[in-house]
Amino acid sequence: MVPQGLRVDQTLDVRGVERPASYRQAVDRLNQMAENEVLELYVDEGEPLNTIPFGLRAEGHEILISEPATQGVRLLVRKRDLIQDS
Per-residue pLDDT reduced to its tens digit, 3-60 = 677 899 999 999 999 989 999 999 999 999 999 999 999 999 999 999 999 999 999 9
Per-residue pLDDT at 81: 84
Going along the chain from its start, the domains and CATH numbers come out as 10-78 (3.30.110.40)
Supply the pTM of this predicted model.
0.89
Per-residue pLDDT at 21: 95
Per-residue pLDDT at 6: 86
**Which are the contacts of 42, defined by CB distance < 8 A and separation ≥ 6?**
11, 12, 13, 14, 15, 69, 72, 73, 74, 75
DSSP state of 6: -
Q: Which residue spans within the chain are E strands per DSSP?
A: 10-13, 38-43, 62-68, 73-78
Amino acid at 73: V
